[in-house]
Structure 1
């Protein structure tokens, strides 16, 4: 029921329902994740953090764990804790190294940490790996080569 509320964008109802159910089942990872999701969607990022953390600590199924990593890492980043986000995304990417959404949020975190060059390099590689745009794909090899060191010059 709570998942349906979340999927339908009924975030306040999902928040209230998840908090009610957590009163009697506080160690339920899924309920904590739903509470985090609802708070996050309502712009209550600071309130979402402990629910995300607890859900991940207790243990979530793989698909929810990926989403919780993204939610928590993104929330850390936008609430002024990009260092925490970077550590979390590093852990998440060890577990899910091919997940392009995790890679994207990790890139944004690197930017927030002042690692603009590294972030741009990774973003260019990710672009060439995921695009279907034939104009970009025509230069894939060159883009990937130059992305390895954007400051390099050749004479």
Structure 2
């Protein structure tokens, strides 16, 4: 029921139902995740954080866990805690190394942490390793080489 409400964009109703059900089952990871998702979607990021944290602490199935990592990490980042976001995304990428959405949000958190050069390097490598664009792929080797040291000059 709550999942359907979330998927249909009825975030306020989903939020209220999740909060009501959490009164009887505060240790339910899924309900905490749903409450986090609803709060986040409504622009109540600060309120979403403890629900995301608890859902991850209690344990979620992998599909929901990936989404919760993205939600919490992104929320940390946009609420002024890029350091927390970076640490969370590092952990998430260790668990789900093939998930490029996690890598993309990790790059944004690094940027907000003041590591712009490192973020751009990783973005370029991610781009060249995941794109199907023939124009970019025709320069893949050069882009990856230059990404290793963006400040290098050759004379």
1:131 aligns with 2:125: no
Instruction: Tell me, in whole angstroms, the C-alpha distance in 2 between the residues paired with 1:148 and 1:25.
Output: 50
**C-alpha distance in 1, partners of 2:140/2:4?**
41
Q: In the alignment, which residue of structure 1 is the partner of 2:51?
A: 51
Q: Distance in 1 between matches of 2:148 and 2:17?
A: 49
Structure 1 unaligned residues grouped into runs of 5+: none
TM-score by length of 1: 0.98
- Displacement of 1:152: 1.3
Partner Cα distance (1:88, 1:51) in 2 = 15
Structure 2 residue runs of 5 or longer lacking an equivalent are none
The equivalent residue for 1:75 is 75
Residue aligned with 2:43, SS: coil
Equivalent residue for 1:96?
Answer: 96
Question: Residues 1-155 of structure 1 correspond to what in structure 2 (within 5 A)?
Answer: 1-155=1-155
2-structure distance, mates of 1:63, 1:141:
33
Q: Distance in 2 between matches of 1:130 and 1:6?
A: 30
Q: TM-score, normalised by structure 2?
A: 0.98
Cα offset, 1:154, TM superposition: 2.1
Q: CA deviation at 1:15?
A: 0.2
Q: What is the root-mean-square deviation in Å for CA atoms of aligned residues?
A: 0.6
- Separation in 1 of the partners of 2:57 and 2:87? 15
Runs of 4+ in structure 1 over 3 Å off: none
Q: Deviations over 1:30-77 (max 9, x none)?
A: 000000000000000000000000000000000000000000000000
Matched positions, count:
155
How far apart are residue 121 of structure 1 and its match?
A: 0.3
- Measure, in 2, the Cα distance between the counterparts of 1:39 and 1:149: 41
Secondary structure (helix, strand or coil) at the match of 2:107 reads helix
